Amino acid sequence: MITWKTGRTLLYQHLKNEAMALEPFIEAIGAHPPARVPGTALFLTPNPDGVPHAMLHNLKHNKVLHEKVVILTVKFLDFPHAPSEERVEVEALPHDFYKVTVRYGFKDEPDLPRDLKLCAEQGLVLEAMDTSFFIGKEILIANENPEMAFWRKKIFIGLFRSAETITNQFKLPPNRVVELGSQVSF
């Protein structure tokens, strides 16, 4: 358990340190807009203030953004159930970007498609068949940094590879999920 917790903390910190700040990125998109395609792109990320790696990879390789872009963060709370009135929070940003936070208690059953329907109450309508879920898929490579013993990194990498997928964990429709991978040396 310590290896898993330490590894997740180091990986999250590494990804957060490498992330580009979201607000300047959105300003740059407004100043020099790429092609925008119909639909909604929903990018899952643990860091709501940084540009998700999957978004950068999508923009770099496909050279497009969707009409609506949602930065989605899921937070798990330290109490059994998240109050229904606090389940979903929507923040509108410039240029059709949105930050959405979904909260679950540790006993709640995560179901993002069900809970994202609550965004409509706050002005963000997400059409199920017009929304694609973009997920960053990290491939971990152990390095010799002293933050964690090399052998523990190898164990963490094995655990990370065999962990339940986000698609299953959050009940995402598999035919609406796009995984964009990157190698991470930590």
Compute and round to an integer the Cα radius of gyration of the chain: 17
> Residue 103 to residues 21, 28, 99, 153: CA-CA distances in angstroms?
23, 30, 13, 30
Beta-carbon contacts of 138 under 8 Å, excluding residues fewer than 6 positions away, are 11, 15, 53, 160, 181, 182, 183, 184
CA 183 from centre of chain: 16
Listed as ranges, residues in the chain with pLDDT below 50 are none
Secondary structure of residue 45 in the 3-state scheme:
coil
pLDDT at 91: 98
pLDDT at 33: 94
Separation of alpha carbons 33 and 54, rounded Å: 18
Secondary structure of residue 14 in the 3-state scheme:
helix
Secondary structure of residue 43 in the 3-state scheme:
strand
pLDDT at 183: 85
pLDDT at 34: 95
DSSP E strand stretches across the chain: 35-44, 64-76, 88-93, 97-104, 131-141, 177-185
Instruction: Give the sheet arrangement for strand 35-44, strand by strand.
Output: 88-93, 97-104, 64-76, 35-44, 131-141, 177-185
pLDDT at 165: 87
Secondary structure of residue 76 in the 3-state scheme:
strand
pLDDT at 47: 93
